């Protein structure tokens, strides 16, 4: 695997490349010696302070790293940390493995320093370091590897920390639902005592409002955690528009009649679709609920278009309208165009994720005079 490619890849000056090739050759020849000397010191100076780690785990990719290092010594290409070179890949993998073993960043750097020491010892014994030039290149290569390893280490550690945090949030919100269920039912029972409702109606409404807000926050946290973790599972089946429309518009219709808004739904229930019914219902419901929530007078209209390869559902409302800036960010999590209204700011983000997961799309346009037009595309069965 190691080709003496110093002459071909770069170097103008043979006198300059020759000592580096000698250094590379001695690293390859003494590879196992370097590895065991290094391992001995790591066990003495580093591993003893960390938790018990086996020699196999410690040795990890050191031999491979040394081989790649020798290759890089032969080549004359510029050294950058975090570059795409083979030795940088090994340094990167090594760092990720060290995160798993529970090394801290200080231990990671000390490992490389010990390796540098052993390499220089061997180079001196082999008498291949005669002036500053080659040793400088060796030192530069190791320093660049340290920089790459530290960068990967930090990224990998942050990623692991985020995952643990998401798991904690998931666990906590899940656990919160149990006492919340009990509290909601207990409050519901109080509502069934007429003498109590008469005497404490304000107290009871306060209790209800707080429980509702708690429920919204918990649902929102769980949903955003699932969006982050990209857990949304999609199982498309062949179905018809009629199977989802009623469920998706039921709540909005009720809300609209309570608000005194004109609510119209027009569609052909027999339009064939290839969708995940649960995800699609939840996406459409979020959009229609939003339309009613932000329309205080006028009408909300839902209608379906049947195009060749897809169905398009249009939702028109009489909200105050959206600015160009709001249109750009409205499908991102926690972006709420109207902060005065209740909600978690997740509905449209969830809708977009739910539609995209099954090959659909969502978009919005808004005129200067107010009112929004949301459209959702749903895939049809492939005939």
State the number of CA atoms in the 13 A half-sphere of 7 facing the CB. 2
Strand partners, 373: 316, 365
* Complex with other proteins: residue 278 or 298, whichever CB lies closer: 278
Q: Output the 3-class SS for 211-279.
A: HHHHHHHHHHHHHHHHHHCCCCCCCCEEEECHHHHHHHHHHHHHHHHHHCCEEEEECCCCCEEEECHHH
In the complex, the smallest distance separating the C-beta of residue 246 from other proteins, rounded to whole angstroms, is 12
DSSP three-state, residue 98: helix
Q: Which stretch binds other proteins (CB under 8 A): 10-18, 35-43, 146-154, 170-178?
A: 170-178
Q: Which stretch binds other proteins (CB under 8 A): 48-56, 140-148, 178-186, 317-325?
A: 178-186
Which residues in the 181-200 window bind other proteins by CB under 8 A?
181-186, 188-189, 191-192
Give the single-character DSSP code of 47.
I
Which residues in the 82-111 window bind other proteins by CB under 8 A?
none
Q: Which of 93, 69, 86, 75 is nearest to 143 (CA)?
A: 69
Q: Which of 77, 111, 81 is nearest to 97 (CA)?
A: 111
Residue with tokens 């990209």: 230
The yes or no reply on residue 213 touching other proteins (CB under 8 A) is: no
Which residues in the 244-283 window bind other proteins by CB under 8 A?
277-278
- Quote the CA–CA distance of 320 and 368 in Å, as a whole number: 9
* Complex with other proteins: residue 71 or 224, whichever CB lies closer: 224
* Complex with other proteins: residue 240 or 373, whichever CB lies closer: 240
Strand partners, 379: 310
In the complex, the smallest distance separating the C-beta of residue 176 from other proteins, rounded to whole angstroms, is 9
* Complex with other proteins: residue 155 or 247, whichever CB lies closer: 247
* Complex with other proteins: residue 225 or 318, whichever CB lies closer: 225
In the complex, the smallest distance separating the C-beta of residue 335 from other proteins, rounded to whole angstroms, is 23
Nearest-Å Rg of the Cα atoms of the chain is: 32
Binder to other proteins among 55, 160, 199, 237 (CB under 8 A)?
Answer: 237
Q: Which two tokens stand for residue 156?
A: 């990998």
In the complex, the smallest distance separating the C-beta of residue 191 from other proteins, rounded to whole angstroms, is 7
* Complex with other proteins: residue 26 or 173, whichever CB lies closer: 173
Main-chain dihedrals φ then ψ at residue 361, nearest 5 degrees = -140, 165
In the complex, the smallest distance separating the C-beta of residue 182 from other proteins, rounded to whole angstroms, is 5
* Complex with other proteins: residue 43 or 233, whichever CB lies closer: 233
First CA to last CA distance, the chain = 51
- Quote the CA–CA distance of 277 and 270 in Å, as a whole number: 15
Q: Which stretch binds other proteins (CB under 8 A): 55-63, 171-179, 262-270, 286-294?
A: 171-179
In the complex, the smallest distance separating the C-beta of residue 96 from other proteins, rounded to whole angstroms, is 31
> How many chain residues interact with other proteins (CB under 8 A)?
26
Strand partners, 315: 302, 374
Which residues of the chain form contacts with other proteins (CB under 8 A)? Answer: 174, 177-186, 188-189, 191-192, 215, 222, 226, 233, 235, 237-239, 243, 277-278
């Amino acid at each position: 695997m190691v080709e003496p490619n110093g002459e071909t890849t770069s170097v103008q000056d043979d006198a300059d490349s020759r000592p580096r090739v000698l250094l590379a050759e001695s690293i390859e020849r003494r590879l196992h010696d370097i590895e065991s000397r290094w391992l001995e010191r790591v066990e003495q100076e580093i591993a003893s302070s960390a938790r018990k780690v086996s020699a196999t785990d410690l040795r990890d990719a050191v031999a491979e790293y040394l081989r790649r290092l020798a290759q890089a010594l032969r080549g004359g290409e510029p050294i950058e940390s975090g570059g795409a070179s083979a030795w940088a890949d090994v340094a990167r993998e090594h760092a990720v493995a060290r995160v798993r073993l529970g090394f801290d960043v200080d231990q990671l750097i000390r490992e490389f320093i010990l390796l540098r020491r052993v390499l220089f010892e061997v180079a001196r014994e082999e008498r291949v370091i005669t002036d500053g030039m080659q040793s400088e290149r060796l030192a530069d290569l190791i320093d660049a590897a340290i920089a790459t390893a530290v960068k990967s280490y930090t990224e990998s550690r942050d990623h692991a920390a985020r995952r643990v945090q998401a798991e904690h949030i998931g666990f906590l919100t899940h656990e919160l639902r149990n006492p919340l269920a009990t509290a909601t039912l207990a409050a519901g029972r109080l509502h069934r005592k007429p003498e109590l409702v008469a005497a404490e109606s304000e107290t009871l409404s306060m209790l209800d409002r707080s429980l509702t807000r708690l429920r919204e926050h918990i649902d929102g946290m769980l949903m955003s955690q699932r969006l982050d973790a990209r857990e949304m599972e999609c199982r498309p089946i062949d179905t018809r528009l009629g199977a989802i429309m009623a469920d998706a518009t039921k709540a909005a219709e009720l809300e609209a009649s309570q608000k005194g808004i004109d609510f119209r739904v027009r569609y052909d229930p027999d339009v064939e679709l290839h969708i995940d019914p649960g995800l699609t219902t939840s996406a459409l419901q979020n959009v229609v609920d939003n339309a009613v929530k932000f329309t205080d007078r006028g009408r909300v209209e839902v209608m379906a278009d049947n195009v060749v390869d897809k169905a398009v559902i249009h939702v028109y409302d009489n909200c105050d309208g959206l600015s160009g800036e709001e249109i750009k960010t409205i499908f991102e999590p926690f972006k709420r165009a109207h902060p005065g209204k209740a909600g978690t700011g997740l509905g449209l983000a969830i809708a977009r994720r739910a539609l995209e997961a099954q090959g659909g799309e969502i978009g919005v346009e808004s005129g200067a005079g107010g009112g929004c037009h949301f459209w959702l595309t749903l895939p049809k069965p492939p005939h």
